[in-house]
Amino acid sequence: MQNAMSSTFQAPLQVPLSQSGNLRRQIKFNGVKRRPMVAAASVNVEVNDAARGSAGGLGRNNKEVMEAEKKLLVGTYNRAPVVLASGKGCKLYDAEGREYLDLSSGIAVNALGHGDADWIKAVVDQANVLTHVSNMYYSIPQIELAKRLVACSFADRVFFSNTGTEANEAAIKFARKFQRHSNPDSKEPATEFVSFTNSFHGRTMGALALTSKEHYRSPFEPVMPGVNFVEYGNIEATRKLIQPGKTAAVFVEPIQGEGGIYSATKEFLQFLRDACDDAGALLVFDEVQCGLGRTGYLWAHEHYGIFPDIMTLAKPLAGGLPIGAALVTEKVASAINYGDHGSTFAGSPLVCNAAIAVLDKISNPAFLASVSKKGHYFKETLKQKLARNPHVKDVRGLGLIIGIEFDVSATPVVDACRDSGLLVLTAGKGNVVRLVPPLIISEQELDQAVEILCKTLPVLDSNSN
């Protein structure tokens, strides 16, 4: 075969978008025209100079990439008009070389920033050995990661998934199975859930049912029934909803990220712990966004000294690779049998080895102390600099998850920050700027972010009339 194809050039399938239509018609395998495999590692194909293009197949032009996205991808994302091409530390660079200070971290994912040397080594080393085997077999990195997660948390066991919404789906199933297991003689074991206003637990059908914002749920109704929403932090209203024989579990974020950076009180979380115990319900802490060092504590609930039956994790755990996890106590795990749940890709050797590198760094007490110190500095600096602005209603948060609430839409500020080289997010009802920088960010970079934010605030005056 090699001799028969010796006259052709062997190269990765990387061609400019403008050439892809012609290439699709030109590719031949042994003289037979076939549809080329997208992103094939290597194919035997005649390639001329114009078809070689740049890495990734597109030119270094923002407009070209954005136009291609409109034609090729399902329109589920209202993207910012930036094409990010590379990153290092807390800095990102677009396809044309412009620099941005990143205070979005891929929505609180890139806790170690971009291009962390230890993370890269973990990924490359593991990729050279073994990437995926499925959960039909044992693999060492998965067990090593689970061992670390159990050692540094309340949990006794771990279930791995690929995303935060999958972790919450697992928690839903585990809660219902736990009720059946704990009440074998009951004809109708508890199946309902309690969730809270401003909550966000994911976009798959079960997690979506737990998410309070109607505009996320309404296009896809009916979603999973049996979810009761109540005001976040309202003890008396919640007390009426947590009932023995009806409530399987209560889902709560110790700090709501998407909802607007609202922190629970210790009194509220302690009430939930006691009420769940009294009702035989499980308490689930969703720490997909606020967990793993972001608050200055390894887990956000450690700030309160109150512990759940299940904790769901995802975003920062593998440093940008897809992972989720449901950490559970032994009493929950005892209800789960072979085949009750599963995943093809979850807990792969590659992703777990990356997560070990992330967890080992973030769980270091000195690292967590630095997050707490920088978070306090950042919030106090923001409060001082923004105190006199009439549009600023509140600056809140813990560690390096901070929200600035305005009396008008925050979108003009987000846009102006981006134009000035700073990437931030919105939250809440669109009136909150969400700041979730890489946990490695320096005080100098935080000062730079504050300076840009302050310079952009006048755009609120022209948008509030």
- Residues marked active site are found at 200, 286, 315
| Residue matched to tokens 């030119």 | 59
Helix ranges restricted to H, 74-136: 105-108, 117-127
DSSP 259-313: TTSEEPPHHHHHHHHHHHHHHT-EEEEE-TTTTTTTTSSSSGGGGTT---SEEEE
Task: For 313, list phi and psi in degrees, rounded to 5.
Answer: -130, 160
117-127 helix and 349-362 helix, angle to the nearest 10 degrees: 160
Task: For 396, list phi and psi in degrees, rounded to 5.
Answer: -145, 165
Contact call for residues 382 and 402 (beta carbons, < 8 A) = yes
DSSP 55: T
Task: For 60, list phi and psi in degrees, rounded to 5.
Answer: -85, 65
Q: What is the dihedral of CA 132, 135, 141, 144, to 10 degrees?
A: 170
Nearest to 204, CA basis, from 175, 229, 168, 230: 168
What span, in angstroms and rounded, lies between the C-alpha atoms of 123 and 93?
A: 22
Which neighbouring-strand residues pair with 228? 194
Which neighbouring-strand residues pair with 227? 193
Tokens coding 26: 């030109």
Angstrom CA distances, 402 to 37, 297, 420, 448, stand at 44, 15, 20, 16
Q: How many CB atoms lie within 10 A of CB 75?
A: 8
